[in-house]
Amino acid sequence: MEDNEQRTGGINAVYSEMETLSRRAVARTRRMSAPLSFVEHSLLTFIGTTPGCRATDIAADFQLNRSTISRQLTTLGELGLVEYTPQENDAGRGRVLRLTERGRQLRERSVAAQRSVVTSRLKEWSEEDIAAFAAALGRFNAGPEG
């Protein structure tokens, strides 16, 4: 039973640290990357790193309802951050998204702000520790959805 309690305590600690990480990232985005919200940052990052993506691709990846994504994309379009690209032979598959120049610039600024914090936090870490941390996060993120 002690092993189970230790495992549960470890899982609770991981959850707590992830919650802190997420909360700080959201606050940092508001502070440093204005006018991008965390959601806007996430959407722009997906669109910017997934050429040819459509709203349905985002909904599937984020595990959100298509209408939720559509509302967010409408707002991003109104802000001049994303646009739909004309596609020949589309066959009704939905419209392909891309970042506008302004969207690309704001995303780059937001990513730079987040990366600078990560760089600063890992400044004293060894290359091996950084690699192990990246591998553990990759393993965690590749796990099955629960």
What pLDDT sits at residue 145? Answer: 74
CATH number of 2-138: 1.10.10.10
- pLDDT category of residue 88 using cuts at 50, 70 and 90: low
- Residue 37 sits at the vertex; the CA angle it makes with 77 and 136, to the nearest 5 degrees, is 115
Six-digit token string for 117: 């914090």
For the cut 70, the answer to whether the pLDDT of residue 1 exceeds it is: no
Q: Which residues contact 113 (CB under 8 A, 6 or more apart)?
A: 28, 29, 32, 33
Six-digit token string for 12: 């609770």
Model's pTM, two decimal places?
Answer: 0.75
Percent of the chain exceeding pLDDT 70 equals 89
Convert the pLDDT of each residue in 48-81 to its tens digit. 999 999 999 999 999 999 999 999 999 999 999 9
Whether omega before 51 lies within 30 degrees of 0, making that bond cis, reads: no
